[in-house]
Amino acid sequence: MGLICEELKLSERRACRVLGMSRTSCRYTSRRTVAPELLADLRQQAMERPRFGYRRLHVMLKCKGWRVNHKLVLRLLRENGWLVRRRQRKRLASVPRLEPDAPAAANEAWAMDFVHDQLADGRRFRCLGVMDRFTRECLAIDASRIEIEIERRGDVLRKLYSIE
């Protein structure tokens, strides 16, 4: 606020009115102090057990008789740099994906996919689509309710193999 008052040569009252801010919140200074014994105890616990997070350290301080909020413990750990750092995830080497060989003739390679949907009355159904990858022709579409679909999937594939 002081910077705005100096730059624009405004009084504090007028600057607060322009910003829509109350003067009391502008003048507020925090008076909270942390007991040095608490800070020393927290540091000791954090150094003894470096993999403990703020939640477990908070429980340990409560067991020792300190009446502290878990948010205070988190803030103190952050401010002093005692917070447990998250372990970096091991990055796997990126392997380029190989494109499958394009089929040279019809019925050489098929693609299958399921599509799910739900009717207006709440019954669910699943459609199995089988497509020839060379001709892009749909060889079969079979719609069935999910409960009875397992046997029918085999029937559809048996029919297609018998056609060939």
Residue type, 9: K
Residues 6+ apart with CB under 8 A from 139: 110, 130, 131, 132, 160
Question: Residue 107 corresponds to which tokens in the numbers above?
Answer: 């019925």
Please give the mean pLDDT across all residues of the chain: 86
pLDDT at 148 over 60: no
95 lies in some domain: no
- Same domain for 123 and 158? yes
Domain assignment of residue 7, yes or no: yes
In a domain, 98, yes or no: no
Q: Looking at the structure, tell me whether residues 55 and 18 fall in a common domain.
A: no
Q: What is the mean predicted confidence (pLDDT) over 47-72?
A: 93
Do 117 and 152 belong to one domain? yes
Q: CB neighbours (10 Å) of residue 77?
A: 19
Confidence band for 150, pLDDT divided at 50, 70 and 90? low
Per mean pLDDT, which range of 85-89, 103-107, 137-141 is the poorest?
85-89
Q: In which domain, by residue range, is 147 found? A: 110-163
For residues 60 and 127, the model is more confident at 60
DSSP 155: H
∠ CA 66-72-78, rounded to 5°:
125
d(CA 154, CA 100): 25
Give the model's confidence band at 163: pLDDT under 50 very low, under 70 low, under 90 confident, else very high: low
* Number of compact structural domains in the chain: 3
pLDDT exceeding 70 applies to what percent of the chain? 94
Is 93 within the bounds of a domain? no
Q: Are residues 117 and 134 in the same domain?
A: yes
- Shared domain for 114 and 69, answered yes or no, is no
Same domain for 119 and 151? yes
CB atoms within 10 A of CB 57: 24
CB of 125 closer than 8 Å to CB of 146: yes
Pick the range with the lowest mean pLDDT from 27-41, 95-109, 144-158: 144-158
Cα gap 48→10, rounded to integer Å: 53
Tokens representing 27? 């003048």
In a domain, 105, yes or no: no
Residue 120 sits at φ, ψ, to 5 deg, of -65, -30
pLDDT for position 151: 66
The reply to whether 104 falls in a domain is no
State the pLDDT at residue 41.
Answer: 95
134 with 159, same domain: the answer is yes
Lowest mean pLDDT among 89-93, 106-110, 139-143: 89-93
- Same-domain check for residues 118 and 150: yes
Q: Is there a single domain that holds both residue 76 and residue 61?
A: yes
Q: Is residue 9 part of a domain?
A: yes
